[in-house]
């Protein structure tokens, strides 16, 4: 009854459908809300992206690109300027660029996160993806997560059914 029947079936005037297929859209909406509010919020992402330690980890790559630009690309694109720039000037320019970029990166990333938040609706994406799962895919996902719990429910259901059946037999026999 959790997963089957996948499509609504009418039996003796009653409509039957598995709980998860019947409530898949509601499940998708609640999961989307949970992910966007609790698990993967924009404030968490923004704090990680704008964290100075994380920004420092990209600075060697930025340094390499600036060095490549000043030593190779600038002379190719502006040969006259490159005649007046020596190693010491390149080091000074690179130092100034790196200091300025370290100041700009947090602002740029913070601004980018606001743009990203406006353009990327995590709740809608998760809701759409989960609602779009086939019933087989939904069953496979839930079974992989809750297989032990479902087995426990089956066993307890069997034991209770057996006990109720015995009780009914005893009541019938004693009358």
The phi, psi pair for 15, rounded to 5°, reads -100, 125
Residue 47 lies in a domain: yes
Residue 141 lies in a domain: yes
Give the pair of three-digit tokens for residue 43.
């404030």
Residue 73 lies in a domain: yes
What is the number of domains present in the chain? 2
| 55 lies in the same domain as 121 | yes
Residue 4 lies in a domain: no
| 101-147 tens-digit pLDDT | 888 888 888 888 878 877 878 888 888 888 888 878 877 887 787 77
| 146 lies in the same domain as 164 | yes
| 99 lies in the same domain as 16 | yes
Residues 56, 101: Cα–Cα separation, whole Å: 11
How does 116-137 read in b/e, with b if 16+ C-beta sit within 10 Å? eeeeeebbeebbeebbeeebee
Residue 74's SS3 state is: helix
**From the CB of residue 28, how many other CB atoms can be counted at a distance below 10 Å?**
19
| 148 lies in the same domain as 94 | no
| 108 lies in the same domain as 162 | no
- Name the band, by pLDDT with cuts 50, 70 and 90, for residue 1: low
**From the CB of residue 27, how many other CB atoms can be counted at a distance below 10 Å?**
19
Residues in Cβ contact with 73 at an 8 Å cutoff, skipping those fewer than 6 apart: none
| 153 lies in the same domain as 68 | no
| 4-55 tens-digit pLDDT | 777 777 888 887 777 777 777 888 888 888 887 777 777 777 778 778 788 8
| 120 lies in the same domain as 95 | yes
Domain with 150, as residue range(s), is 135-175
| 164 lies in the same domain as 80 | no
- Helix boundaries (H) for 35-86: 42-49, 52-68, 74-77, 79-83
pLDDT at 131: 83
Residue 32 lies in a domain: yes
| 15 lies in the same domain as 95 | yes
Share in percent of the chain as helix, strand, coil (round to 5): 80, 5, 15
Place of tokens 């690109």: 65
| 39 lies in the same domain as 124 | yes
Residue 2 lies in a domain: no
| 64 lies in the same domain as 96 | yes
| 82 lies in the same domain as 145 | no
């Amino acid at each position: 009854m959790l997963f089957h029947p996948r499509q609504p079936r009418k039996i003796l005037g009653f409509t039957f459908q598995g709980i998860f297929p019947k409530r898949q859209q509601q499940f998708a909406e609640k999961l989307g809300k949970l992910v966007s509010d609790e698990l993967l919020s924009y404030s968490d992402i923004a704090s990680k992206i704008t964290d100075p330690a994380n920004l420092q980890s990209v600075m060697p790559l930025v340094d390499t690109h600036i060095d490549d630009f000043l030593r190779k690309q600038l002379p190719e694109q502006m040969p006259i300027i490159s005649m007046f720039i020596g190693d010491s000037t390149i080091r000074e320019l690179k130092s100034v660029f790196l200091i300025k970029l370290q100041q700009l990166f947090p602002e740029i990333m913070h601004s980018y996160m606001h743009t990203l938040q406006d353009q990327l609706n995590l709740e809608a994406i998760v809701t759409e993806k989960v609602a779009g799962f086939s019933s087989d895919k939904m069953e496979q996902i839930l079974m992989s997560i809750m297989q032990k719990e479902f087995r426990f429910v089956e066993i307890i259901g069997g034991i209770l059914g057996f006990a109720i059946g015995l009780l009914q037999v005893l009541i019938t026999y004693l009358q």
